[in-house]
Chains A and B, each alone.
Chain A
Amino acid sequence: MSATSEEFQPTIVAFVCNWCTYTAADLAGTARMIQSPNVRLIRMMCTGMVDPKYVIKALLSGADAVLVSGCHPGDCHYINGNYKARRRMKLLKEILPRFGIDERRLKLTWVGASEGNEFAATINEMTRLVRELGPSEAATTMVI
């Protein structure tokens, strides 16, 4: 992930579940896997806690993309938080693109605790994609 200094460095805010993706991120770090430094991790107890307003606030504050990542279906520690997260992501992907926020700036993935490599691959791919999309409108203009 060698980025030249002129290359656009996107900011990706990631809301990750404590029980799976956060652990995977930790694993990716301790195993010194190569990953882009563009992600700001926010640890949640479950993806079911990610209210749409957190995602909206992150985007309006200039995040170029938002990742929500939690336990695989069937593995949520609170039984169904990840299924609720999926409906909320569906909702956001229905609402936000109307107002010019590219749907690809919103991502939901399932990354289990042991999948450090999967986590590194997810954020590397996301960084690449967002770099291609360029900075978000909220990052470059005044939003009221």
Chain B
Amino acid sequence: MATTAKIETGGQGPAEAMRETLRMILADEAVSAVLTARRTPGGGAVMPALIADPDRLDEADPLAPAFPLNSARLLGRLTRGESRGMIAAVLRPCEIRAFVELCKLNQGSMDNVLLLGLDCPGAFANAGYREFALDRAPSGVSRDFLAAFLPGGAAVAEAEGAPPLARACRACEHPTARAADCMIGLFGEDPEKVMTLVSQTPKGQALINRLGLPEAGRELIESRTAALETLIETRTAYRDAMFEETAKATNGLEKLGAFLSGCVNCYNCRVACPVCYCRECVFVTDVFDHEPWEYLNWAGRKGALKLPPDTLFYHLTRLAHMSAACVGCGQCSNACPNDVPVMELFRMTAAGVQKAFGYEAGSDPEAPPPLSVFQEREFSEVTGGVD
């Protein structure tokens, strides 16, 4: 049975209450360090940091609307191999889902980590964050953000005088993470007044017991559930409209080419993707080191060869290789220097692929990745009814 504990925000604002809670968690004897978003020294950005000294938590800012990268791969690095302590990781739900996928591929381990998921109101793309943070004191950004985008605990996608949330966030129907040990509850009640800590696993439950936080009343639990339902509904509608629009724009190879026409094959989208985990992507190996005469041949065959070549080949291959694991974080689009709507394409395809295999990326740590297993009798439609 899950426990919902109450964190009184009491005038200091949600960001400070969050830091206070992290101090308590870092003081817990089981926890060696906290992985969380932090304002970079000297200001300018918000980046993940591994914080071991409670004094350094003053700069922690997990509620900041910045999402410069998906930390799942970093957390994989911090948990794979010999560990000498437990890390409490404060992550967005899509970071937790990506981390779960990486663990299944032996690129991380859930053993020495305590996953603290944020009820995620969404974040800005990089440019939007810079715009929002521009004329605000760094310490006030997250408070202002929550006041504008989570008024009274009800998440909204647009607010007066602010850039809109990243499209991936607006289309995200998973604003909580099933695999988190605890969720930090922001939905349903004004975070200026109160937040919650909800246990979802025995590990999370044990933490809440040790922290000795007061239990939240039924009302708080119910208002969070209700707010979550409304939010999921809104986002699902946005997502479906996005899928429809994307499908229409890409339902032929020539149209897909137009959709991806700004792509310069820089592969930033693949570098930013938390679940594209290969050490060396085939697209940067000598498989693609062609001889000059080969280019001339290709150009000759159709009269012209677009350069750099193989743009559709790259994206379709990446879709085949990782769409079963796509968690919809939108970092591909965030990383693209040419505003190619990569996330739209990947999310749309991933939805179909994951449905075809009855799989939801990152939600259940026990569910095997669909391309890593098989049944002796299945998908007989693929072989024309022959098993």
Q: Are A87 and B313 in contact (CB under 8 A)?
A: no
Chain B window 274-307, contacts with chain A (Cβ cutoff 8 Å), 1 for yes, 0 for no: 0000000010000000000000000000101010
Q: Does A86 contact B306, Cβ atoms closer than 8 Å?
A: no
CB neighbours (8 Å) of A57 from chain B are 313
The smallest C-beta distance from B275 to any residue of chain A, in angstroms, reads 15
Query: A107-118 vs B: 1/0 string, CB under 8 Å?
Result: 111100000000
User: Given A110-B383, A110-B386 in contact, is the A52-B312 Cβ separation under 8 Å?
Assistant: no
Say if the beta carbon of A34 comes within 8 Å of chain B: no
CA distance A83 to B306 in the complex (A): 37
Contact A56 B371 (CB under 8 A): no
Q: Which of A24-32, A35-43, A89-97 contacts B (4 or more CB under 8 A)?
A: A89-97
Q: Taking chain B's interface residues, is the majority helix, strand, or loop, or is none over half, making it mixed?
A: helix
A137's partner among B253, B324, B348, B356 (CB-CB below 8 A) is B253
CB distance from A32 to the nearest CB of B (A): 27
- B205 within 8 Å of A (CB atoms): no
B-facing residues in A101-144 (Cβ within 8 Å): 101, 107-110, 137-138, 141-144
Q: How large is the interface on A (under 10, 10 to 19, 20 to 34, 35 or more residues)?
A: 35 or more
**Contact A98 B320, beta carbon cutoff 8 Å:** no
Contacting pair A86 B257 (CB below 8 A): no
Q: Is the CB of B253 within 8 A of A91?
A: no
Which residues of chain B from 239 to 269 have any CB-CB distance to chain A below 8 Å in the complex? Answer: 247, 250-257, 260-261
The reply to whether A53 and B282 form a contact with Cβ atoms under 8 Å apart is yes
B352 nearest CB neighbor, chain A only = A94
Residues of A near B256 (CB, < 8 A) are: 99-100
A144 and B306 contacting across the interface, CB-CB below 8 Å: yes
Task: Check B311 against A99 for contact (C-beta < 8 Å).
Answer: no
Asked whether A137 lies within 8 Å of B254 as measured between CB atoms, the reply is yes
Q: Which of A52, A53, A96, A110 has the most CB of B within 10 A?
A: A53
- B251 and A100 contacting across the interface, CB-CB below 8 Å: yes
Q: A87-B370, A144-B261 are in contact. Are A53 and B313 (CB under 8 A)?
A: yes
Q: A56-B320, A98-B247 are in contact. Are A144 and B257 (CB under 8 A)?
A: yes
Q: Which of B341-369 contact A (CB under 8 A)?
A: 348-349, 352-353, 356-357
B55 close to A (CB within 8 Å): no
Judge if A45 is at the interface, Cβ distance under 8 Å.
Answer: no
What's the Cα separation between A90 and B358 when bound, in Å? Answer: 13
Tell me if B70 counts as interface (CB < 8 A to partner A): no
Partner of A95, one of B302, B304, B353: B353
Question: Chain B: which residue is nearest A89 at the CB level?
Answer: B382
Q: CA–CA, A74 to B376, complex, Å?
A: 8
Which residues on the A side are within 8 Å of B353 (C-beta)? 91, 94-95
Taking a contact as CB atoms under 8 Å apart, the answer to whether B384 and A52 are in contact is: no
- 9 residue pairs, one from A and one from B, having the closest CB atoms: A52-B320, A100-B252, A83-B374, A144-B257, A53-B317, A144-B306, A94-B356, A144-B311, A90-B379
Q: Interface of A with B (CB < 8 Å)?
A: 52-53, 56-57, 60, 73-74, 80, 83-84, 86-96, 98-101, 107-110, 137-138, 141-144
* 15 sample A-B contacts, Cβ–Cβ < 8 Å, listed by A number: A53-B282, A84-B371, A87-B371, A95-B319, A95-B320, A98-B348, A99-B253, A100-B251, A100-B256, A109-B383, A109-B386, A141-B253, A142-B257, A143-B254, A143-B257
Q: Which residue numbers of B lie inside 8 Å of A, CB to CB?
A: 247, 250-257, 260-261, 282, 302, 304, 306, 309, 311-313, 316-317, 319-321, 323-324, 348-349, 352-353, 356-357, 370-371, 374-376, 378-379, 382-384, 386-387
